[in-house]
Amino acid sequence: MKLEAIPRLSLGYLPTPIEKMDRLSAELGISLSVKRDDFTGFGGGGNKVRKLEYLMADAVAQGVKVLITTGGHQSNHARMTAAAARKYGMKPILVLRGNRPDLYQGNLLLDHLFGAEIDFLDPDAYFTEINPRMAHHAAQAEARGEKAYIIPLGGASALGAMGYVNAVKELSEQYAAAGTPAPRYLVAPVGSGGTLAGLHIGCSLYWPDTEVVGIAVTGSAVPFSERIAVMANAGADLLDLEKRWTADDIRIENDYIGPGYSIPSDEGNAAIKLAGNREGMLLDPVYTGKAFAGIMGCVAKGSIEKGSSVLFIHCGGSPALFPYAGLLTSDLAG
């Protein structure tokens, strides 16, 4: 099946722009551009809109009434899924890792404003309870006669990955229209793996000489390289492609996670301040700050060569800045 034949709803404000980062390029010694997927717009913007265009098309076609997904407290995916559910007349249920907070800020505040039912799971029990808990909510909905649809963490599925196959197609058209050669490296944060799987499929079709680099922002029980290879192969099956990936084909940089998922790192915080000071670009402590720190680290150690062209996928997430205001202004103390 061709990509254009897979059902898709229009949610994002696409195509998003590509911005050349002249000051950061000069400072880092690379030719750096950013794909501004923080500007996708819908539900506060971010990369998950691209996945939801395909996932929501499937849900709408099935007559879904209850949309269920999961993530962390500051999950961009959960926030945008709640918005998409409301747009199509569905009830959103979010099963989130973390205890109920005293104050709803950032993405949690937006989840509330979208009217999501939020089920908080103790972080220590999350990974054993999450699938049964989502299945429980689905069973309750079905018992009421309401069709339920579970979207996996981060929208990470073969169907969701089509969003970033389409994104590479969009990028290739933008670069061709500008007369610009494809970048040497295409870099993105990795939290659940669906974006990177789509980027690999897309580059195999449209930018075969571009290397995809994932910067892990969390750990994984199953190595990301294995999970993403499986997802990319399933996505290739959707498109009737013969191309196959193994774990060895998936480059993941694991040195920039910091203390853990959604726990800010010193390197990520420094990257946030650098991007804001040099380019007026907002990064966040959960995803893009750590991923940008990864670009800086890879350039410093030579695994991204000086002088090379690098395109960074800005996956959004600026609402997650605000819950960390105290930490990010600690330099004002005294």
Residue 105: the pLDDT is 94
Residue 220: the pLDDT is 82
Domain that holds residue 189: 3-47+157-332
**97, 140: one domain:** yes
**117, 206: one domain:** no
CA distance 318 to 106: 8
- C-alpha pair distances (Å), 2 with each of 7, 49, 216, 245: 11, 21, 30, 19
CA distance 241 to 280: 41
**41, 56: one domain:** no
**14, 38: one domain:** yes
SS3 for 211? strand
**104, 197: one domain:** no
**163, 295: one domain:** yes
Residue 66 has pLDDT above 70, yes or no: yes
Residues 126, 96 contacting (CB under 8 angstroms): no
Residues 12, 51 contacting (CB under 8 angstroms): no
Helices (H) and strands (E) in the chain, counts: 11, 10
Residues 121, 129 contacting (CB under 8 angstroms): yes
Residue 313 has pLDDT above 90, yes or no: yes
- Helical segments of 37-125, H only: 48-61, 76-87, 107-113
Residue 306 has pLDDT above 60, yes or no: yes
Which strands form 185-190's sheet, in the order they lie side by side?
18-20, 31-36, 309-314, 185-190, 211-216, 251-253
Residue 262: the pLDDT is 86
Boundary of a domain, candidates 155, 187, 210: 155
**127, 34: one domain:** no
**134, 188: one domain:** no
**235, 171: one domain:** yes
pLDDT, tens digit, 9 for 90 and up, residues 163-186: 999 999 999 999 999 999 999 999
- β-pair partners for 314: 36
> Average per-residue pLDDT in the chain?
96
End-to-end CA distance of the chain: 62
| Catalytically annotated residues | 75
Closest CA to 43 of 318, 262, 282: 318
Residue 43: the pLDDT is 96
Residue 334: the pLDDT is 54
Structural domains in the chain (count): 2
Residue 291 has pLDDT above 70, yes or no: yes
**174, 292: one domain:** yes
Q: Give the CA count within 13 Å in the CB-facing half-sphere of 85.
A: 28
Residue 222: the pLDDT is 79
Residue 297 has pLDDT above 90, yes or no: yes
pLDDT, tens digit, 9 for 90 and up, residues 227-265: 999 999 999 999 999 999 999 999 999 999 999 988 999
Specify the CATH number for the domain of residue 102: 3.40.50.1100
Boundary of a domain, candidates 155, 173, 191: 155
Boundary of a domain, candidates 132, 155, 178: 155
**56, 112: one domain:** yes
Residues 298, 306 contacting (CB under 8 angstroms): no
CA distance 280 to 286: 19
Rounded mean pLDDT, 191-213: 97
Is the peptide bond between 15 and the residue preceding it cis, with omega within 30 degrees of 0?
yes
**197, 56: one domain:** no
